[in-house]
Structure 1
């Protein structure tokens, strides 16, 4: 059988090899009584593609290419070099395949994640009545796990039990991982407990499986058992424990002297950032001797998620100073999110330029983030242009554009786009309904909002959550339908939260309904959400009806608690940086120059009068 590889222009056996060390060795090999054994050494010591082809040519000349032993080493070598199809052709050319050759081909398929091919090869093995060994089963088990093939997985477990391989550490570890993936916790634990010896991979498989299934206490118990033995946790074990242990894993690593890999440090940093402890996250970030792209991304994303957009953008700029770091779509999305929070159109446009320069513009998550950013930064036309260029928008993309129209009071456009989304085959989800209800609320489209809310329940069979109810209360309240809003709250299928009662209280402030305002205020107090802003609202409601005694009580209570109304502020953007100003505020570092300029402006205005 004549074989070629995809990376050579001519068949290797037509190319006359140059005199080289490998050709000399091949010449010597022909004089040895058992050449196959010598080729084993040559394959290991010369893994280059050209050398493999030369050895292969020699095997063909000697007529041993259909020998299972030679084919096994050829399959291994070609697969390792990336020539999977060539390896498969060699495998198929052998009439009597040994279990070693089957193992080599199954392993080759496993290396490229070709799980269906692994399953097909194993079924052929079964058909030819070739008994698998301890090297076959781990790869086959991994394939059945990846394919979520429960019946096949259980069948292979029974086989391993029958032929005594369930006590093999590698087979048992693979079975544990597969059974935990199938949510067969009891069976996985039974195999684990029966293992005569366990390596760190087996311990980690059991710990990770428990954690993924939400059994954190059981995972920690296994970890304690491991520590009582001789096994020392590695970085993979530690990474899996982070979600179960939280902050204590950091102290445990230091206590056990496990040392930090970049992956472990980054995972702990990400844990602190997601929990809102940005000071600790930054401290860990600054102390890292090596920072990967993932480390920078975790810190930038931590700032963006915790509403520190200035810091997120500033850190991204620092990141760009390192030529070895190539920002990807994940960190770019976090920076776009920060620009949207900041409302900085200039900065957002600069990041968009960076996206175009680095070829991220065709990535759907980035395009969706740009739509959201332009809408929130006030340029709805740019948002629409980005949206119109997207080839295949997702539900999230549609929702972002619908919300964008809503932010700008274009409720009718939101509704049209919502209908268009349904026309092209999308079934609206909870987020899409929230976007369109919010748009109706901003635009005062009461009838259309009611219709959407009812269709969500009656036509699509969804149960509204508190965010949907808050939008409806806000919509009805803005329209002065306070009684209807109260009735909606009474009939809610979930407990109303502070957003629902806050929306009602805001509506009462505008429309003047003391009874509903007092109900909302009491409910907010019960929820522990009686903050200064809500107290100011109820005081204003009382003031509107001339109930000054009640106003005095509310304000006295605020003074006792040391509360004050959150002052409004103005933002000015200069060089992609937003500067906030509050009335009478002199905290800005250039306040002297600013106030001097204001005095000059006042003076000029006075002269003109």
Structure 2
């Protein structure tokens, strides 16, 4: 057997390897096949693969199943499923190994329905083996298709393949990903033999279900742990918000990789500790695009947009091409800065690099960035280009209209969203109520507040009540706003009383302002801004003695007015 054939058979069962060996080239054909085999072994890019294919055709090797098998594996690694399918279906009688290679490609790169179609097509000419079912089960796991997975399990039992190591491990993974951890454990406990992948699949199931205690118990029982299992355990603690144990597992690891570092960095970022996240990031020698994306997104999520941009510039200078996660994080940072010039650069950069900007989450981020930076024309064009509009994209555009004083357009867009059958959530109602408040749309805002409760069964939150107080207060309906506050079914928070105080300042109502300040001093006594607002209300009413009294109280409390600043960008 040649070196090439051994490479192809390395990960196959003995029976599968025998099938490939029987299709090995004869002495007459060996010279042509070996030259192509050598090219395939050295292939590193999709372009190289496309250049090798004509050689296979010219040398009459399209039916050479060993070469085609290797070709399909390479197509999968380069995300070229369509190309792999074209090559596969030129083989007159593909054996089970070739079918498994195509199934594996489909399970990684295509939909569940496509993979199921190929599986059923395969059954017309070949019997599925211990490698066929795991490919389909993997696709079921990814799409959380429990019903189909359970049906496959029944077929596997009927065929007597349930004790196959790879199949049973795939079933454990399926049930774990579908949060049926008891079914996973039953299969795990009755296994005749377990390998590291089986243990890891079971531990992963517990982590997905949020049972990090059970995951750790199994982790401690595991005879030999690989780096994947260690990383799963770190991820479990990070998801549980237990950074102490996550770091402890990280420090105990005999060997770490990029995933180990990225998991702990992500944990610190989610906890808001960007100093520790940056420290761990700097300890990572081989930073991949995923580690960069976690840091940039972490800075954006923790309201540090300048740091996000600084890190992106460093990444850019190292000539590391960003992925979608990096660019979405950068767009979020840009939206926080509100600078149109930077937004235009980011928008143009996305068009220049090989990034699929048509993906819904990328488009939604582009819309949000342009809208918050004031480029509503571009945001509207991007929104119109979306084939399928979701709640996030609608909210992004509505919020943009609201920020820039187009409340009526936001209301019109909200109504359009309802007509398209998109169900609003509590955030969507916060956005539209804010827009109505800033535009003075009292009737529309009151209608949306009632719609939220009556039509969508959403209990108004404190933020919703604050929006309504703001809506009434801005319109000068201060008495109605105060009565609304008193009718609330829960204790008002600072946002509610703050909205009333702001309205009192706008309309010079000192009586209600004093009530609002009194309540604000109870819920947030160290907020100097509330006292400053009250002082300004007294000043507008020429009550200078009361102004002095407020300033005296501020000195007693040790409160100081925070100096304001204005940024002007060219």
CA contact (8 A) 1:440 1:449 kept: yes
Structure 2 counterpart of 1:178: 174
Bigger CA radius of gyration: 1
Structure 2 counterpart of 1:112: 106
Residue 26 of structure 2 corresponds to residue 26 of structure 1:
yes
CA contact (8 A) 2:204 2:232 kept: yes
1:247-286 counterparts in 2 under 5 A? 247-248=243-244, 251-286=247-282
Residue 315 of structure 2 corresponds to residue 319 of structure 1:
yes
**So what's the TM-score if we normalise by structure 1?**
0.71
CA contact (8 A) 2:473 2:503 kept: yes
Distance change (3 Å), C-alpha of 1:52 and 1:345? closer
Question: What is the Cα deviation at residue 569 of structure 1?
Answer: 1.6
Instruction: Output the CA distance in 1 between the equivalents of 2:151 and 2:369.
Output: 52
Q: Deviations over 1:539-562 (max 9, x none)?
A: 666788899999788666644553
Instruction: Output the CA distance in 1 between the equivalents of 2:541 and 2:495.
Output: 25
1:88-237 counterparts in 2 under 5 A? 88=89, 90=91, 93=93, 101-102=95-96, 104-113=98-107, 115-116=112-113, 118-119=115-116, 134-146=130-142, 148-158=144-154, 165-226=161-222, 229-234=223-228, 236-237=231-232
1:169-568 counterparts in 2 under 5 A? 169-226=165-222, 229-234=223-228, 236-238=231-233, 240-241=235-236, 242-244=238-240, 246-248=242-244, 251-323=247-319, 325-358=320-353, 363=358, 365-366=361-362, 368-378=364-374, 380=376, 383-384=379-380, 394-422=390-418, 426=422, 428-492=424-488, 496-511=492-507, 517=513, 520=516, 524=520, 531-537=527-533, 558-559=554-555, 561-568=557-564
Instruction: Output the CA distance in 2 between the equivalents of 1:208 and 1:343.
Output: 41
1:29-40 counterparts in 2 under 5 A? none
Secondary structure of 1:312's aligned partner: helix
Question: What is the Cα deviation at residue 475 of structure 1?
Answer: 0.8
Distance change (3 Å), C-alpha of 1:258 and 1:538? farther
Segments of structure 1 that go 5 or more residues without pairing to the other structure are 1-23, 31-38, 60-69, 95-100, 575-609
Question: What is the Cα deviation at residue 109 of structure 1?
Answer: 1.2
Instruction: Output the CA distance in 2 between the equivalents of 1:102 and 1:281.
Output: 48
Distance change (3 Å), C-alpha of 1:400 and 1:40? closer
Question: What is the Cα deviation at residue 295 of structure 1?
Answer: 2.3
RMSD after superposition: 4.4
Question: What is the Cα deviation at residue 568 of structure 1?
Answer: 1.6
Question: What is the Cα deviation at residue 438 of structure 1?
Answer: 1.4
Structure 1 counterpart of 2:11: none
1:572-583 counterparts in 2 under 5 A? 572-573=568-569
Distance change (3 Å), C-alpha of 1:522 and 1:109? farther
- Equivalent pairs counted in the alignment come to 522
Instruction: Output the CA distance in 2 between the equivalents of 1:158 and 1:524.
Output: 63
CA contact (8 A) 2:465 2:496 kept: yes
Secondary structure of 2:566's aligned partner: strand
CA contact (8 A) 2:196 2:224 kept: no
Secondary structure of 2:559's aligned partner: coil
Instruction: Output the CA distance in 1 between the equivalents of 2:341 and 2:189.
Output: 61
Distance change (3 Å), C-alpha of 1:149 and 1:308? closer
Secondary structure of 2:567's aligned partner: strand
Question: What is the Cα deviation at residue 474 of structure 1?
Answer: 0.9
Question: What is the Cα deviation at residue 432 of structure 1?
Answer: 3.8
Instruction: Output the CA distance in 2 between the equivalents of 1:194 and 1:412.
Output: 64
Question: What is the Cα deviation at residue 473 of structure 1?
Answer: 1.4
CA contact (8 A) 2:241 2:267 kept: no
CA contact (8 A) 2:470 2:499 kept: yes
CA contact (8 A) 2:168 2:187 kept: yes
Instruction: Output the CA distance in 2 between the equivalents of 1:183 and 1:319.
Output: 38
Instruction: Output the CA distance in 1 between the equivalents of 2:205 and 2:504.
Output: 52
Instruction: Output the CA distance in 1 between the equivalents of 2:381 and 2:70.
Output: 52
Instruction: Output the CA distance in 1 between the equivalents of 2:202 and 2:69.
Output: 31
Question: What is the Cα deviation at residue 107 of structure 1?
Answer: 4.5
Q: Deviations over 1:407-464 (max 9, x none)?
A: 2333233333434455566555544433332122112222222123223333444443
Question: What is the Cα deviation at residue 278 of structure 1?
Answer: 1.4
Instruction: Output the CA distance in 1 between the equivalents of 2:344 and 2:132.
Output: 55
Q: Is the deviation greater in 171-180 or in 119-128?
A: 119-128
Instruction: Output the CA distance in 2 between the equivalents of 1:194 and 1:45.
Output: 44
Distance change (3 Å), C-alpha of 1:81 and 1:396? closer
